[in-house]
Amino acid sequence: MSSRKRLGEMLLTRGQLQPDELDKALAFQHERHEKLGRILLELGYLSARDVLAALSDQLEIPIVTASDFPVVAPEVEGIALGFMKQFRCLPLGVEDSTVTLAMADPLDSETIAAVRLFTRKQVRVRICSDQEILAAMERHFVLALGIGSLVRELSGAVAQAAGVARRSGGALRRLADKRTGSA
């Protein structure tokens, strides 16, 4: 058995959770097969920050927040936006053969293995809240998608204007020819 202290025990020891609250949360966990931290949040016993701090201590994985995210998201070949949204992960940086990944669930070994496979890089995990990951995706990727859409729209408008100019160019030439009498 692991020597790692259980999350509920840690929270009791810290005085952040009462024994009856832990019992109720564990009963829900048994019924719903969800992570204890998520259940404690849903029941309103703890804040997201408290759960993240306890997980960080338990797993010895640093917490990252929005202020730790790069201004420009690193391009990591092999990780699609849909994958990141589904599994609540976001690349923070790439150094040599390692990608640093902010994850809402740092124990999701399947996601970590998939990122390792897709990128052919080692994965260094950091804990982050769902909300901060989704907000960062919105900032980094929706803005980029929005700019892409704007460029496509402008390109279409320019092409359309060029077509109108070609079509009306002949009419303008005929009108000019008529006025100068060279028709």
Query: Which CATH number belongs to the domain containing residue 87 in this structure?
Result: 3.30.300.160
Half-sphere exposure of 45 (CA within 13 A, CB side): 22
Q: Are strands 122-127 and 89-95 parallel, antiparallel or unpaired?
A: unpaired
Res 2: pLDDT: 55
Give yes or no for a contact between 128 and 64, defined as CB atoms under 8 angstroms apart: yes
Range of the domain at 40: 7-59
pLDDT tens series, the chain, 183 aa: 456 789 999 999 999 999 999 999 999 999 999 999 999 999 999 999 999 999 999 999 999 998 888 887 787 888 888 888 899 999 999 998 999 999 999 999 999 999 999 999 999 999 999 899 988 888 876 655 555 555 555 665 555 655 545 555 555 556 556 666 655
Residue linked to tokens 């994850």: 103
- For residue 97, with 0-12 CB atoms within 10 Å meaning exposed, 13-18 middle and 19 or more buried, which class applies? exposed
pLDDT of amino acid 26: 96
Give a yes or no: residue 172 inside a domain: no
Please check whether residue 33 lies inside any domain of the structure: yes
Question: What are the beta bridge partners of residue 125?
Answer: 101
Question: Nearest 5 degrees, angle CA 140-CA 116-CA 95?
Answer: 60
Is residue 145 included in any domain, yes or no?
Answer: no
Angle between helices 48-59 and 7-14 (to 10 degrees): 110
Q: Quick one: pLDDT at residue 97?
A: 92
pTM of the entire predicted model = 0.70
Shared domain for 72 and 125, answered yes or no, is: yes
Element containing residue 167 per DSSP (H, E): helix 143-180
Indicate the SS3 state at residue 24: helix
Q: How many helices (H) and strands (E) does the chain have?
A: 8, 3
Report the number of distinct structural domains present in the chain: 2
Q: Is there a domain that residue 179 lies in?
A: no
At residue 152, the pLDDT reads 58
pLDDT of 183 reads 52
- Say whether both 54 and 71 belong to one domain: no
70 and 127, same domain (yes or no): yes
- Contact of 68 with 139, CB cutoff 8 Å: no
